[in-house]
Structure 1
């Protein structure tokens, strides 16, 4: 049988991240990003194992960018693509697992745009562009929210009038599901535990961050809610605030709901607290140089993270381990150390020598006598590729 190659696509509001993954391969055949779509500065950056090219695609939208990308992917795949897997942020209550894309799935994703107006339109544009360019190409949608559809009702319902849920879908959905699913499986394998008899606290930390309680391979609670704004302090998102903050800002400052939305999603979090940056690497350097805003931002980030992890433990019958993943979780020894320092009541402690060691493999960093603390690289693209191959196979 010939090599099966899957193109994984992640469409954002003005970009397309992609990776060409060959079945059984340990590296991407091709990867990169189409960025600044719709502008005169639009670019397609393409990397293989030996080189990187930067192709100007001025004013290109999703269809034009994919029209340049797909032939390159086919060429790198040896002339044939087995299928395309799409990351779709929000599937509402409609999707509990990945599914093959057909007209009904497209209509359902479109109907869910109201729940994810910043994310789902891009995913839909990517799907429709591939349909237009290669109508017979098999496509699969993998939903960030699907993993969290196993939350019990007492975890996903808000304390709001029932009709808001029944008639309008106002509930907690959760995100980063593909990542949390991936690292819980990898952690179980690393510790020689069956995934269907293991209990994990998971922290996916990046510009967007969330925690998750995972029991026997299923999500039981998570920090993000109806939108990715709920939960932890993040790069530019505030995370949890007093729900009456909106009213307060409208009354006292005369702010519009659009202005408040921009504040909470784009001007808060690490960026807003530090007044400097939303990049944790920049903030750690500034903290070392005595920058008070960076110091405060890091302290708030870690305390809020620890508080969320402690709350997630309520959903677990036991704790087999704590997992750090994502760009910050995998690379920042400081964030891991400060966070675990707030979790002494749960028995966690780090071996600081192991914590400082860098690597791209899963590893344990706990002190002797502590419950497991693991650093586990996430692999969302590979998970999407596996889901795609499983459905198409």
Structure 2
């Protein structure tokens, strides 16, 4: 069996795949509220199993997940888990692709804690917990930042003193890379096109949102930067703002940089503007009821995505553009958001077919009309499948 885990600051999502040809999902679940009290949910054979067990840290959470998999007879013993694949947010500049976890890999993850203090610590603890409980298991790490290591210096450098980069590693790293890599590979497979020749603008729109310009199959530019706070307006993140606002608000509120940064991360974006919710479904519902703040949040969000699409299309040869792709929670599911974004783009003749946009789909669908200069798609991303694909490649080449 393959176990794919996604460790957050206070949670571990997991999926257990069979090693059969169909690679079916045997079970999936989440351990959450780690370090607070603890809650574990396991979905198995259309039944939801809930456990309220205290989990002080990610180490205990991994132990709890594995014990419950045993007690529910989902696995007979730990050794049935052949490989563990972990999503790790930050791999710095050193890691450019998914890798087998070694002591050297762990050192890089540890070094990057200063760049991703909310996520890398939990990922590292979970990796080490699996090492302890299943000593011989093969572990693989996939990094959100690795897909963007193809960025050129003029894309990843900030216009700040060179010493900030040389001494302190201040640069654009980009995130959502596992999702972007999956979309590229799956797009190439679906349309039988060499991934190295793909030219796409991909909009990964969820609670965390970003856009990536893919040129000749690799990341040419992306909106998230040194941290995931940069770029687009998001569920609770502000996205790009004048950095002087931080100093101004520190003085005006007699606060500190840490508190203001936390507000920009946790209390801004759709939530901060609408004062309704960070969830786009709640925003659109409130906006339809003439809630002016929700309407304003919706307009701000869709305008910023539209402007970014135009900016990124400008990086590509129009004759070679394969499409604009919407993915992730909002991008995949909100026909209203997709329509509003495309409607705000005037410099290029883009048009969505309303019927196609409303149609249900499992994997992907084209939503552009025949009049659209560039094809537009909705694609369901699958980060766990991407990690699984990378595991198989690494095992094959081992």
TM-score, length of structure 1 as denominator length = 0.95
Aligned runs of 1:1-393 on 2, under 5 Å? 5-23=1-19, 24-25=21-22, 27-40=24-37, 42-73=38-69, 76=74, 79=77, 80-318=80-318, 319-370=321-372, 371-393=374-396
CA distance in 2, matches of 1:27, 1:337: 34
Q: Is the 8 A contact 2:55 2:61 kept in 1?
A: no
Partners of 1:187 and 1:323 within 8 A in 2: no
CA distance in 2 between partners of 1:270 and 1:52 (Å): 31
Deviations 1:11-61 (A, max 9, x none): 111110001122433642110100111223x11100123211011212442
SS at match of 2:314: helix
Identify the structure with bigger relative contact order (alpha carbons < 8 Å, sequence gap 6+): 1
Distance across 2 between alignment mates of 1:172 and 1:289: 39
| Per-residue deviation, residues 350-391 of structure 1 (Å, max 9, x unmatched) | 001111112222110001121110000000001011112221
Aligned residues: 388
Q: Distance in 1 between matches of 2:218 and 2:94?
A: 17
CA contact (8 A) 1:89 1:144 kept: yes
- Aligned 8 A contact 1:29 1:77 in 2: no
For the residue of structure 2 that corresponds to 1:20, the secondary structure is: strand
Deviation readout 1:145-191 (Å, 9 max, x if unpaired): 00000011111110011111111111000000010111122223333
Contact 2:247 / 2:257 at 8 angstroms: preserved in 1? no
Query: What is the TM-score normalised by the length of structure 2?
Result: 0.94
Deviation at 1:92, TM superposition (A): 0.6
Q: Is the 8 A contact 2:87 2:142 kept in 1?
A: yes
Task: Give the alignment's Cα RMSD to 1 decimal.
Answer: 1.5
Q: Using the alignment, how far apart are the partners of 1:334 and 1:141 within structure 2?
A: 36
Are the aligned partners of 1:199 and 1:215 in contact in 2 as well (CA < 8 Å)? yes
Change (3 A) 1:316 1:71: farther
Go from structure 1 to structure 2 and tell me whether the alpha carbon gap of 1:198 and 1:59 turns closer, same or farther (over 3 Å shift): closer
Asked whether the 8 Å contact 2:170–2:226 carries over to 1, the reply is yes
Q: SS state of the match for residue 86, structure 1?
A: strand
